Amino acid sequence: MGLRYYSALTQVIIVGFVCFLCPGMFNAVNGMGGGGQLDPKAGNNANTALYSTFVVFGVLGGAIVNLGGVRWTIFGSGFTYALYSASYIYLNHKADGSFTIAAGALLGVGAGILWAAQGMIMVSYPREEEKGRYIAIFWTIFNLGGMLGGILPFAINYNSSSGSNSDGVYIGFVVLECLGACLGLALAPPAKVTRDDGSSVVLVKYTNVGKEAIEIIKLFINPLMLCLLPMCFTSNFFYSYQFDNINGALFNIRTRGFNNMFYWGFQMLGAYLISLLLDSTRFVRKTRGYIAFMVVFVFFNAIWGGSLALHNKYPKGLALEDRLDFKDSKRAAGPIILYLFCGIGDALYQSFAYWIIGALSNDNQLLARYIGFYKGMQSFGAAIAWQLAAKEVSVGHQLIANWVLFGISVPPMLYVVWRIKEHSEDISPKHDDADSYEQEKSAHTTGVAAAAA
């Protein structure tokens, strides 16, 4: 398997590094609870605004990517991450969260588009038997960003007794996120990307606004998408609980950075381990789905059971002066281990969700819409979760909500796994000539623009 520039693997690696530098750094900031601030209110409201716009642009993201292409949509979206990180510098000096909330809303627009492009690349570029491995490769590179992003606040805040990140932490994130946005321009046009077997990843000739509008509407009457809706809704709902009520409420500022390094690091481990199962040749695809489902089911129930035990021990969190430090192993070891296992659980859930969606089709434009639906509904759940945190709903009730929602997602998720076929059917004919495709799409786009004028 070579690393040709136009190979599917190379493109997945490139988009992995884009997400390493943009969403990865965002995760490092967000994972410390309240955006790394002592008072989490502004960060929680910003996340509510973020995921509220993400709902809309997650669903629309696939259509936008299909119409605008992956390079320029990712390039523009990446800068919304930098603006969000920069807003915390303003918050540090003005103690006014309005700019951070507005930046969060704009980030929701960019994130919806970026993740639709990323998901389309990750699940439609590889061959069927490679999808689990490609998801793991992406997830490893992406979460390396969150892991290394945790080192930055850990190092800068090592001797700090403050409850909030310094300006230097946020400046570092802004620089890295701008680099990530620019890296998006290094992606190749999908029409020129080929798999190792020589097949093209592009399956349809072109799209237009009317077609995309119709196809988006169809998502909401698609039985399989509706069955996956609870899974989508739940898949980021737990972040606010884990980031705010475990990492943010129980640990001091430097240990929050320390925990983040390993939370995202353990995500890499989780993604790698489940990829071994999802691409195993020992079982047919449906059997692999059943086994992965059981792994996710057991692991998440164990996580929420551990979270309940931790909540019973610290029902109101800890005062700033009493918060846990990573050097105090006697007090901190158990909560830290639980938090790290939360990272593994997130990787298992997300990797499995992407694999399920990738198993439904090999059509890149259809999968862009499916991923957009997934990210949009995921963000719908996240927006509600962050607003529950912002409204200071009790920690116990947030925990119950997470556990119940996971339980609700289980039966329809299992039904979709049961419906998975051994081989997905390509809906549209393949292209043999990437250059003629580009010319045809260009001519079509020009015609649409002329008609609009």
DSSP of 343-354: HHHHHHHHHHHH
In a domain, 283, yes or no: yes
For the chain, what percent of residues have pLDDT higher than 90?
A: 49
In a domain, 428, yes or no: no
> Given this model, what pLDDT does residue 94 score?
82
In a domain, 265, yes or no: yes
The CATH number of the domain holding residue 74 is 1.20.1250.20
> Given this model, what pLDDT does residue 389 score?
86
- Structural contact between residues 219 and 59, judged by C-beta atoms closer than 8 angstroms: yes
How many CA atoms, within 13 angstroms, populate the side-chain half-sphere of residue 129?
7
In a domain, 324, yes or no: yes
> Given this model, what pLDDT does residue 61 score?
87
In a domain, 96, yes or no: yes
Radius of gyration, CA atoms only, the chain: 21
Q: What residues are paired with 7 via a beta bridge?
A: 194
Alpha helices in 196-328 (DSSP H): 209-219, 223-234, 238-240, 249-250, 253-278, 285-313
Helix (H, G, I), strand (E, B) or coil at 318: coil
Residues 244-266, mean pLDDT to the nearest whole number: 88
Structural domain of 82:
8-422
How is residue 229 written in tokens? Answer: 């809706």
Residues 386-400, mean pLDDT to the nearest whole number: 91
Give the integer Cα–Cα distance in Å for 342 and 170: 25
In a domain, 450, yes or no: no
Q: How many structural domains compose the chain?
A: 1
Query: Picking from 29-33, 141-145, 346-350, which range would have the lowest pLDDT averaged per residue?
Result: 29-33
Burial class (CB in 10 A: 0-12, 13-18, 19+), 414: middle
Distance between alpha carbon 387 and the CA centroid of its chain, in Å? Answer: 19
In a domain, 431, yes or no: no
> Given this model, what pLDDT does residue 321 score?
82
- The closest alpha carbon to 178, from 278, 79, 286, 54, belongs to 79
In a domain, 449, yes or no: no
Q: Is the pTM of this model over 0.85?
A: no
> Given this model, what pLDDT does residue 437 score?
37
